[in-house]
Amino acid sequence: MNWYQKEISLIPRGRGFHLTTDEILGQIPEIKYIKTGMMHILIKHTSASITLNENYDPDVRSDMEKYFNKTVKENEPWYAHNSEGSDDMPAHIKSTMIGSSLTIPITNGKLNLGTWQGIYLCEHRNHAGSRKIVVTIFGEDQI
């Protein structure tokens, strides 16, 4: 059983739901060595999240953003945490709702995802920088 771990950075993006599967895989060539295993991803931020969802129709990402903006509104008078702007506390709430990690099976050197599944970076801030992700891969080697 082998283990690989590295911290990678995703390019800065505006607010929204962004398909990042290829960007992540491009930074972890070690996955090709794993016959059967798992990849764990942790986003190291409290105002962004990570999830799996539709990888084909961009309307899904747009609709997700609309839903979360309607559900978790900015400028609520009862938010005490607002020193970093009106999007800050809603970003923390959204990241808690969606989550900060994923675990995905690896089969024959590739992520074993469904046909229409992709990894989303869910950016909840209006003006965010690069996001850091820790990727841990473990499993048995390809022969």
Give the start-to-end residue ranges of the domains of the chain.
2-74+82-141
SS3 59: helix
Summarised one tens digit per residue, pLDDT across range 9-59 is 999 999 999 999 999 999 999 999 999 999 999 999 999 999 999 999 999
pLDDT at 33: 94
Looking at residues 115-133, what average pLDDT do you find?
A: 97
Residue with tokens 């794993």: 34
pLDDT at 91 over 80: yes
DSSP run (H or E) holding 96: helix 88-98
Please state, in angstroms and rounded to a whole number, the distance separating the CA atoms of residues 80 and 141.
Answer: 50
pLDDT at 138 over 90: yes
Name the strands in the sheet holding 48-54, side by side, starting at the edge strand that comes first in the sequence: 14-19, 117-127, 48-54
Please name the fold of domain 2-74+82-141: Jelly Rolls (2.60.120)
